[in-house]
Structure 1
């Protein structure tokens, strides 16, 4: 397998300042936009240093992915402007405080926005693995949009974490590529996924019934994808082409369920953008040539995805209405989700030969139905992109159905306590 090394232009002709976070404020300039990896790939030591030195940096903009570390807070708007593609994780605190601006774009658009300068990235902060025998640092837990940011940023700053796996997938960096290289002083989160409850397990069984032997999977993040993975251990020769690789996928690979042997592209290789899981997922990915992390320009590219037969995209949502409109972004006035890769993957599954575009969600959130007469938030996925909607009460395949045909199927998978009301409201709405 060929893993080309990418040399970073503009970062190879000087020695890095090594080992002192105090140098960060000499690299980041007022007016800069700073980007770093998301979730388990957050460079927590550098993030803390940036916060501590923010009085010297007024003002900078920070582009955020999913927040995991509890480092940023609304009070940091004294020096920072926050921009994100999502409201997930610790971003939710910023969103509720009204200090988080959202970039509502498809995930597949991020690389082009970065390369064109529309989303200008001046400094990229990375969490990298210790170097291999050839002196190459791996980006470790994430590639995603960081690949494009590394190509175009004025400065590359990184922390080396001893527990970050060395993973395959370019770019690989050398010492001279960094403007600052420090040792990480943070521990990686190691909590395994929570055990799925009865609702999640039923949803998992329903979704698993849609997955044929030899299918290639994409899954989102959270308890429902984990529950789906747990129900797939009776399948054979599954493949993976996804945004995030977690404990559930690692378990399927280790059990021989995921072999990637029947994938129509990247045969034999599990492809993802980020590792999001416990130490199990990190150990699985470490120096494993059967796992490759790629940039968003590959993992979400529609021309790449359309070449995958039997592509099953499994995603979630905040709410789905009776005609198939999907809100994956907002609850009330709070931005909690994202446009993200939902549209990229669901449309790919719709176009795939033998593919299945799945949106799985519990029928209720507390006392509120998540199957609704009309979505209250933005329409992330329009009803013209008909999907297979799954709850614990069943499966509603909306593909090829008229509006009148969709409504009873959606009501049938709603919670029984809400079906009569939904039927009444649908009739009143005509």
Structure 2
């Protein structure tokens, strides 16, 4: 049986975390706040160790913690931007589908896993509540698993429902989980969302990423019927469509009747909707991003964003202005899955301009996160470019047509000077 620490103030993590260890916890709303706050507060007593971070929804981890802790992540999103700018975060450019292997027995193998779970039911089964995602893959190989049992975490049906035997330490708490509420949608984003929504038919199964754009797309779908969800995350906007009967999952070819997701990423409204809801199922990354599962899902529409796209369809989703702000993440996994899906649509959406600079470019200013051979639909507020199966010259023409009108002359000049971009 696990050790139970009834008073979190008495939790001494130096008994469990050793110098040189790698510590992993659930990202975003799945962060076990009591445990991560204690870990940062006790870092000096523990000695140097490494933490693998996902997208943060809290301000628990700060640049000053880099005095002892080595931080590594798959992304530069959210609060990770400050860590990266301060020089205390390193980034592993990784497809999301490969994270489970890296965390279980690869270069990022977890020694200690910190979990946030909902209390056990009558059968002694806990719920991962907010996040299965990649964190469950890290558990089998870990030396220590510490569970924060929070009675304010929703009990969400999942693929894996642990028992006390799966934990080494249990810390009961009662506190609101971290939230990522929806943000106000700018007019430019709304126009892009309208273009994307025009590509989504009744009966489609949706994948969507984090941020205002996916939420704005979902807000445009109230008149659709029998949509489904198979996505790395579930947000407030998706919960609203489920409550309204728009998302029913009735026409999914895989996991019919259920919205499958790796984690909940939203506000208390989402958490309350998910609590005990049998139409939502948490699954691990090995399933949510499995190429065979995605390909078998008919009419899979993958909606992802980018920092910039060049005139041939190469996509940079990682670096802007020399700063690491995004990720390779699950975009390629889902774009390829949607491309193989019967009736599927791989979509990348972005503004034509941001901060006065064109996001449709002659040459990428950062890395190629997604190769042009994986490009499908590229959407801006000025239109939709279908690049599927198109040669380079046609791609250039279609990408020019969705660039900002003021930027098109410079892009045309780049083509005249370089010919077909290679």
Bucket of the pairwise TM-score, normalised by the shorter protein: over 0.9
**Corresponding position of 1:132:** 121
Q: Which residue of 1 aligns with 2:142?
A: 153
Whole-angstrom CA distance in 2 between matches of 1:106 and 1:189: 26
For 2:394, the equivalent position in structure 1 comes to: 405
Please state if 1:23 is matched with 2:12.
Answer: yes
Asked if the contact 1:24/1:180 (under 8 Å) is kept, the reply is no
Aligned to 1:248: 237
Give the Cα–Cα distance (whole angstroms) in 2 for the partners of residues 54 and 14 of structure 1. Answer: 23
- Please give the alpha-carbon distance, in whole angstroms, between the structure 1 residues aligned to 2:205 and 2:339: 13
Give the unaligned 5+ runs of structure 2: none
In the alignment, the residues of structure 2 paired with residue 17 and residue 45 of structure 1 have an alpha-carbon distance, to the nearest angstrom, of 12
1:271 and 2:271 equivalent? no
In the superposition, the TM-score normalised over structure 1's length comes to 0.94
Distance 1:49 1:316, change over 3 A: same
Partner-residue secondary structure (3-state), 1:172: coil
Cα RMSD after superposing both structures:
1.5
Where does 1:71-150 land on structure 2 (aligned, <5 Å)? Answer: 71-150=60-139
1:261, distance to aligned residue in structure 2 (A): 0.8
Larger mean Cα displacement after TM superposition, 155-164 or 13-22: 13-22
Structure 2 CA distance for aligned equivalents of residues 115 and 161 of structure 1: 25
| CA distance, structure 2, for counterparts of residue 78 and residue 105 of structure 1 | 26
The answer to whether structure 1 residue 348 and structure 2 residue 358 are counterparts is no
Shift of residue 163 of structure 1? 2.0
Q: Whole-Å Cα distance in 1 between the matches of residues 189 and 300 of structure 2?
A: 22
Q: Partners of 1:22 and 1:164 in 2: how far apart?
A: 21
> Quick one: distance in 1 between partners of 2:63 and 2:3?
36
Figure out how many residues of one structure are paired with residues of the other and give that number: 418
Q: Indicate whether 1:64 and 2:56 are aligned.
A: no
Distance 1:122 1:337, change over 3 A: same
Q: Distance in 1 between matches of 2:167 and 2:101?
A: 23
Q: Is the 8 A contact 1:128 1:137 kept in 2?
A: yes
- Determine whether 1:212 maps to 2:201: yes
Structure-2 residue corresponding to 1:333: 322
Question: Where does residue 7 of structure 1 map in the other structure?
Answer: none
Give the Å deviation of 1:225.
Answer: 0.2
Matched with 1:323 is: 312
Matched residues in 2 for 1:407 and 1:208: separation?
Answer: 24
Deviation string 1:9-58 (CA, Å, 9 cap, x unpaired) is xxxx5544444453211111111100001111111111111111111222
